[in-house]
Structure 1
Amino acid sequence: MELEVLKEEARRKGSRLILAVDNPSHLSLIEKLKSLLAGVKLGTVPIISGKAENVIKKERDLYFISDMKIADIPEINSRIAEKLVEMGFRGMIFHLFPMSLEESVKLLHERGCDAIGVAMMSHRNAFIFEENFEKLIKYGITVDVDGFVVGATRPEYISRAREMTRKPILSPGIVKQGAMPGEAIRYGADFEIVGRAITESPDPVSAAEEIVKKEREVIC
């Protein structure tokens, strides 16, 4: 699959922006911002709040990604994935390090959904990821994940991932964690994930428009 639906939405809207929503109170912003978004990434708190499913059903044309960073044994991973498919998610983020994704990837592909593996996080002190980065990418390629998460705060790892694979790269850590809009794309990422810089802005629409503008400057 390799996030074909997400890529098509990006082409249609001229946007590489994925909105990250980690606070249930920010779910209402999705409707206002949807014309600017390639997709929406929902964190664990909105998902378990019980409010996410209705939003997904209402905004069924949007590409929703579950970001629960699933990291369990194969059987449990598959059960979680099945439930998230039922909720309407088209993409799901998994941790690669448990090396337990074969069943989940197969299940998601059978359902027409995407599996996305975390190869590098965006926060400081992610030393285990740094030490095992290439192993994680290689494992993800072996089990046929559809894309990778590589933090925008570590652009050298985005470049290395791009050298190793043509699969889509999604990069979080924009603005609030220090990376500038468009910078991850410049280093080889396909999408930039932005949360608080938009959701906590006094004018979320203008904030999103400015980020999309900067991304377009890099792409063009």
Structure 2
Amino acid sequence: MSFVNITLEEKQAVLKHLRTVKNQLAGRMLFPGTSGNLSLRVGDYSPERFYFAVTSSGKDKSKDTPEDFLFVDHEGRPCENTQLKPSAETLIHCEIYRLTGCGAVFHVHTVFNNLISEWMGNSGYVTAQGIELIKAFNIWEEDAKISIPVLPNYADIPLIAAEVEGVLNPAIPGILLRNHGIYAWGKNAFEAKKHLEAFEFIFEYLYRALLLQNVSKQ
């Protein structure tokens, strides 16, 4: 399906979903300083050609305006006439869509995901085990253990995008950028948000567990 064949109703539905999620996450103060980005795929999918709506660069996500989102193609290029710029990290969204076929990708910067990715980043993974919210990823084994990939936070976004394929694990719907933030995805906006919330719970849990361990050693 080419972008011109995507209906106005499909576009409007995607924008409505994105605006709802944006407002919910902004209400939790998850977009400090215009940080973070959200995207939602529209129309049919193929690895060679797909389209998605993504947050515009540099916008205050606590407010609603007609310039909050724009549509881009599988290479992150605007596919309609617009003066808006897609988020600087749109290429990372492109790679996640291409490799997973997912329907939504959400990215936030938080204190907990920054600290825990920095603390454990040398290993290339953040490891979590026995935490209840691991079940949010449809992993039901008792005392389940997961490893969330951590990529270097290069200033050159294409360098980051080029490394996504080498670390992405289809069973773990998230990738951390070290001392930067989490990318979480799902088959739709509901699932991507669920995964994002579960990751953030896990990062806070790990951080607070480290604090307790340090206190017990004193």
Larger radius of gyration: 2
TM above 0.5: no
Q: TM-score, normalised by structure 2?
A: 0.35
Which one has a larger percent helix, Structure 1 or Structure 2?
1
Report the structure, 1 or 2, having the larger strand content. 2
